[in-house]
């Protein structure tokens, strides 16, 4: 019960914060509407008594009043709906924003690798829509409580024993909550399975995977797997639903018995001459109203209990963030005090450094090791490397060597498990993450396909200049994406993707080229990261792009000391870099420029010669 009350208070506070005026209007209209119901029952009794006594004028006035109240009851409900619906939408939007903040509000991406966090995010995303009706539910519950109180008072004036009727409704409400708890626990227990089932369904229906599924004739296998998953999920849910239905039926049986008892009581009193026909009608009407009120309250409470769970999950996402923040500050404190030679690290507050305007020394990796959270596998092990300011660096190595992982660490999307990344001598963890990332430009291997206007797709690389057509055109030019712009109806204002609307679908290489343009929006980045930026491009296009980038990075390097780091498997491209780093199973196997590495006759020379032989 405590959770429901807390949820109701939270929902009301949220509604008042988003639009107090509309909330008050809805409360006023609903109160009048709800009070009308028991008054209508009283009116019906008066009408019956007056009609039986042939007091026709009174009967006419009373029935007129009842009609007006009925109209008011219905109409005010509609007008109240207008107000609370809008408040509900605003409240849901606020919670949506909070969810986005929790998912994106961390310094890195670690939290998204935590299965419990991912399950919570998934459940909240699915259930957040229900919170839209939470404002309505809370107001309706308030209205029903008022109505039930008034109905009870009227019943008690007829016979105090009739007060038991609303009380008999309590078991059904209580077991209803118990039943809902069972359902929620079952949902949580099967959350991972549900996620997998949805993923399998998406695989079998999404355009990105459908080609392979079709050609491999994998639909049947996917469906079998999905069926097996779904059977496991539905077995858990079916058991919970069965137990919940039994509990609810038992609760309603108690009320049904009380309902029968109340009507028998008033009929017996009428037979004894202690109650009139009007009283019988009043009790029958009120008993029906109580049953409607109870059923309504039980449904609303169940819904509100679900909302309570969603809010709890949101709180746990928030707590997750606070814990991360706490441990980050603790770590930063320890680092700070180590630097100053203090023995009590936890009392010192972290002193964040500032991101340099111009990179002078470069980036240094010091004994850097990394393990993805929740896994035991060491991906990067004890890397020691200096990347000088103003240079271009190529990262090479076989699949799974850890290249993209290192890129993500350099972007500040993950924190080293041990060791440090130093930017001009300052630990990257001591730099404000947002400020560092504002000086990083990137194109990831799994680049995003923003189905937006072409201008937005590129401009999002520097949100502040998203609407700056000249800046977007410059980025398009740097990425040699002019032909794509010319081919899209509407040019920069053309819609991309066929996910919705009349957008133009692009080829993978075209999407990637736009990604490249996006990475060019930031002027003078301190780190430009291109993770296989040309994987979907032909060899000539890739070569041209890298030649261009080698020149550009020299320019940027001169201006801001910025480093251009790229990952590529094409050695004809790689050789252009000032420095080549060969990663082998998470370790730096060798580093140096092309000439030095070829002379060294190590792993790089071997791989380079292999590609030369194959392609020439």
Ligand X SMILES: Nc1ncnc2c1ncn2[C@@H]1O[C@H](COP(=O)(O)OP(=O)(O)OP(=O)(O)O)[C@@H](O)[C@H]1O
Applying CB under 6 A, among 313, 403, 429, 455 the residue interacting with ligand X is 403
Residues numbered 560-579 forming contacts with ligand X, rule: CB under 6 A: none
Nearest approach in angstroms of CB 208 to ligand X is 18
CA 510 vs CA 496, 516, 537, 540, 541: distances in Å: 11, 10, 8, 15, 12
CA distance 440 to 442: 6
Taking CB under 6 A as the binding criterion, the range among 141-149, 315-323, 401-409, 486-494 that sits at the site for ligand X is: 401-409
The binding track of 405-424 with respect to ligand X, each residue x by CB under 6 A or -, is: x-------------------
Taking CB under 6 A as the binding criterion, the range among 29-37, 213-221, 231-239, 402-410 that sits at the site for ligand X is: 402-410
Taking CB under 6 A as the binding criterion, the range among 5-13, 27-35, 240-248, 399-407 that sits at the site for ligand X is: 399-407
**Quick one: 120 or 404, whose CB is closer to ligand X?**
404
DSSP string for 228-279: HHHHHHHHHHHHHHHHHHHHHHHHHHHHHHHHHHHHHHHHHHHHTTSS-HHH
Displacement of CA 393 from its chain's centroid (Å): 36
Are residues 506 and 454 in contact, defined by beta-carbon separation less than 8 angstroms?
A: no
**Quick one: 107 or 335, whose CB is closer to ligand X?**
107
> Dihedral (C-alpha) 422, 426, 427, 432: value to the nearest 10 degrees?
-120
Applying CB under 6 A, among 30, 158, 168, 401 the residue interacting with ligand X is 401
**Quick one: 251 or 402, whose CB is closer to ligand X?**
402
CA distance 441 to 517: 10
Q: What are the phi and psi torsion angles at 377 (to 5°)? A: -85, 125
CA distance 607 to 590: 13
Residues numbered 286-305 forming contacts with ligand X, rule: CB under 6 A: none
Taking CB under 6 A as the binding criterion, the range among 88-96, 178-186, 394-402, 464-472 that sits at the site for ligand X is: 394-402
Nearest approach in angstroms of CB 535 to ligand X is 9
Taking CB under 6 A as the binding criterion, the range among 22-30, 395-403, 423-431, 496-504 that sits at the site for ligand X is: 395-403
Residues 6+ apart with CB under 8 A from 261: 164
Q: What is the 3-state secondary structure (H, E, C) of 292-346?
A: HHHHHHHHHHHHHHHHHHHHHHHHHHHHHHHHHHHHHHHHHHHHHHHHHCCCCHH
Taking CB under 6 A as the binding criterion, the range among 84-92, 147-155, 252-260, 372-380 that sits at the site for ligand X is: 372-380
Applying CB under 6 A, among 21, 326, 400, 499 the residue interacting with ligand X is 400
**Quick one: 230 or 370, whose CB is closer to ligand X?**
370
Residue 397 found at the interface with ligand X (CB under 6 A): yes
Nearest approach in angstroms of CB 604 to ligand X is 15
Nearest approach in angstroms of CB 395 to ligand X is 8
Q: Can you state the angle between helices 56-104 and 115-127, rounded to 10 degrees?
A: 150
Residue 404 found at the interface with ligand X (CB under 6 A): yes
The end-to-end CA distance of the chain, in Å, is 75
Residue 379 found at the interface with ligand X (CB under 6 A): yes
CA distance 151 to 157: 10
Taking CB under 6 A as the binding criterion, the range among 177-185, 283-291, 392-400, 542-550 that sits at the site for ligand X is: 392-400
Applying CB under 6 A, among 113, 114, 192, 590 the residue interacting with ligand X is 113
Kind of pairing, strands 527-531 and 563-567? parallel
Residues near ligand X (CB under 6 A), total: 13
Rg, the chain, Cα only: 34
Applying CB under 6 A, among 272, 322, 375, 502 the residue interacting with ligand X is 375
Residue 399 found at the interface with ligand X (CB under 6 A): yes
Taking CB under 6 A as the binding criterion, the range among 263-271, 310-318, 393-401, 587-595 that sits at the site for ligand X is: 393-401
Kind of pairing, strands 579-584 and 563-567? unpaired
**Quick one: 7 or 415, whose CB is closer to ligand X?**
415
Nearest approach in angstroms of CB 577 to ligand X is 16
CA distance 569 to 608: 10
Residue 446 found at the interface with ligand X (CB under 6 A): no
> Dihedral (C-alpha) 211, 212, 215, 219: value to the nearest 10 degrees?
-100
Residue 306 found at the interface with ligand X (CB under 6 A): no
Short-list 205, 193, 182, CA closest to 230: 193
- For residue 320 the two structure tokens come to 């997750």
Short-list 442, 443, 433, CA closest to 412: 433
The dihedral through the CA atoms of 429, 430, 431, 433 has a sign that is: positive
Residue 529 found at the interface with ligand X (CB under 6 A): no
Nearest approach in angstroms of CB 417 to ligand X is 12
Residue 79 found at the interface with ligand X (CB under 6 A): no
Residue 372 found at the interface with ligand X (CB under 6 A): yes
Nearest approach in angstroms of CB 399 to ligand X is 3
- Provide the binding-site residues for ligand X, judged by CB under 6 A: 113, 372, 375, 379, 397, 399-405, 445
């Amino acid at each position: 019960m405590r959770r429901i009350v807390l949820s109701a208070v939270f929902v009301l506070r949220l509604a008042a914060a988003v639009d107090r005026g509309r909330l008050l209007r809805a409360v006023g209209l609903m109160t009048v509407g709800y009070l009308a119901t028991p008054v209508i029952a009283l009116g019906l009794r008066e009408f019956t008594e007056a009609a039986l006594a042939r007091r026709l004028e009174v009967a006419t006035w009373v029935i007129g009043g009842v009609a007006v109240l009925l109209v008011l009851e219905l109409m005010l409900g509609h007008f109240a709906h207008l107000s609370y619906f809008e408040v509900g939408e605003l409240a849901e939007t606020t919670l949506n924003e909070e969810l986005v903040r929790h998912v994106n509000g961390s310094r890195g991406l670690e939290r998204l690798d935590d299965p419990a966090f991912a399950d919570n995010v998934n459940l909240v995303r699915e259930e957040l829509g229900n919170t839209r009706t939470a404002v309505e539910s809370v107001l309706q519950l308030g209205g029903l409580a008022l109505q039930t109180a008034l109905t009870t008072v009227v019943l008690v004036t007829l016979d105090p024993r009739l007060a038991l009727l609303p009380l008999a409704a309590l078991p059904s409400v209580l077991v209803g909550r118990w039943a809902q708890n069972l359902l929620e626990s079952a949902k949580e227990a099967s959350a991972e399975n549900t996620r997998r089932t949805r993923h399998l369904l998406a695989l079998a229906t999404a355009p990105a995977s459908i080609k392979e599924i079709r050609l491999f004739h994998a639909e049947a296998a996917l469906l079998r797997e999905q069926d097996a998953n779904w059977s496991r999920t539905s077995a858990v849910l079916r058991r919970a639903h069965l137990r919940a239905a039994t509990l609810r039926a038992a609760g309603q049986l108690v009320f049904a018995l009380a309902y029968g008892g109340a009507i028998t009581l008033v009929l017996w009193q009428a037979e004894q001459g202690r109650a009139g026909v009007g009283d019988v009608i009043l009790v029958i009407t009120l008993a029906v109203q109580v049953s409607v009120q109870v059923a309504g309250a039980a449904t609303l409470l169940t819904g509100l209990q679900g909302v309570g769970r969603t809010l709890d999950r949101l709180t746990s996402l928030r707590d997750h963030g606070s814990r991360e923040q706490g441990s980050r500050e603790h770590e930063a404190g320890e680092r700070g005090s180590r630097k100053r030679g203090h023995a009590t690290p936890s009392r010192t507050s972290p002193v964040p450094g500032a991101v340099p305007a111009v990179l002078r020394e470069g980036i240094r990796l010091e004994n850097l090791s990394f393990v993805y959270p929740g896994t035991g596998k060491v991906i990067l092990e004890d890397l020691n490397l200096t990347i000088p300011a103003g240079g271009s660096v190529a990262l090479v190595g076989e699949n799974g060597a850890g290249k993209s992982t290192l890129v993500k660490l350099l972007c500040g999307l993950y924190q080293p498990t041990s060791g440090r990344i130093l930017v001009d001598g300052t630990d990257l963890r001591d730099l404000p993450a947002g400020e560092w990332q504002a000086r990083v430009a990137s194109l990831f291997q799994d680049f995003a396909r923003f189905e937006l206007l072409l201008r937005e797709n590129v401009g999002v690389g520097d949100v502040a200049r998203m609407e700056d057509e000249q800046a977007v055109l410059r980025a398009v030019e740097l990425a040699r994406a002019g032909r794509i712009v010319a081919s899209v109806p509407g040019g920069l204002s053309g819609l991309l993707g066929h996910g919705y609307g009349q957008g133009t679908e692009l080829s993978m290489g075209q999407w990637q080229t736009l990604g490249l343009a996006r990475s060019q929006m930031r002027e003078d980045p301190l780190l430009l990261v291109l993770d296989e930026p040309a994987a979907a491009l032909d060899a000539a296009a890739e070569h041209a792009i890298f030649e261009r980038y080698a020149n550009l990075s020299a320019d940027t390097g001169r201006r801001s000391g910025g480093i251009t780091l790229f990952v590529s498997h094409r050695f004809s491209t790689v050789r252009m870099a000032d420095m080549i780093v060969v990663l082998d199973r998470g370790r730096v196997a060798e580093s140096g420029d092309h000439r030095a590495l070829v002379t060294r006759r190590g792993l790089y020379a071997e791989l380079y010669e292999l590609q030369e032989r194959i392609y020439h």
